[in-house]
Amino acid sequence: MSIARMAWHVAGVAAAIGGALALREGSVHPWAIPRKSGDAQVRLSWSARPERVEQCRRLSDAELAELPPHMRLRLQCEGVFARYLLTVRVDSSGIASDTIRGGGLRHDRPIRLFREIGVPSGQRRVKVEVARLDSTSAAGDTTEDHDTPGDTLLGFRAGREADERQRRAREAMPARLVLDTLISLAPGHVLLVAYDETARRLTGRMARSVP
């Protein structure tokens, strides 16, 4: 083998070593994750049912008689699912404001929220507020149908509707939710704001819960 040829082969081995090292470097080379606004984060993540805003009307006996028997219900209600205004303030300056509503075409599905909001690290007062925009105070008779005897078919249906309405109201997000907290956010740390369905309030957390 000539010297020149040998030199090429040595260069080949060097190239292979260089290639292997480059491969490793390309496999683990660090990347600084860009922090768009602020070096800490407020993360809003929850799922909750929106409140149903209804207008109800009591039907007269004559109106009731016009309906097919299986559709007879004394209290006829129409309505929509409420929208809410979400605001996030850090140290009394608003950093996010948005209208949120239930999912689905009729917005009757739960509000599924996931937002990540960059905030500067340090001692911060974070206030997250969710306020219902649509009101139930619209005119109309929203009282329950108590006067139909419970042992009739009409009464049974009225009772079932009332139960359903109560269940929905229990599960729905309250008209106003507020989390107002003073925290110390280290760079890169996250304040997770979630909704506690049982306590029906917003909660803030900065570390994993111990399983």
For other proteins, the binding residues (CB under 8 A) are 8-9, 11-12, 15-16, 20-21, 23-24, 26-35, 41, 43, 45-47, 103-104, 109, 112-114, 187-190, 192, 194, 205-209, 211
Nearer to other proteins, 21 or 169 (CB): 21
Nearer to other proteins, 43 or 168 (CB): 43
CB 133 within 8 A of CB 99: yes
The CA–CA distances, whole Å, from 62 to 59, 75, 120, 202 equal 8, 14, 65, 47
The residue type of 13 is V
Q: How far is the CB of 32 from other proteins (least distance, A)?
A: 4
Q: How far is the CB of 109 from other proteins (least distance, A)?
A: 6
The CA–CA distances, whole Å, from 21 to 12, 25, 126, 168 equal 14, 6, 47, 62
Nearer to other proteins, 31 or 149 (CB): 31
d(CA 172, CA 98): 19
Q: Encoding tokens for residue 210?
A: 């111990």
Nearer to other proteins, 75 or 88 (CB): 88
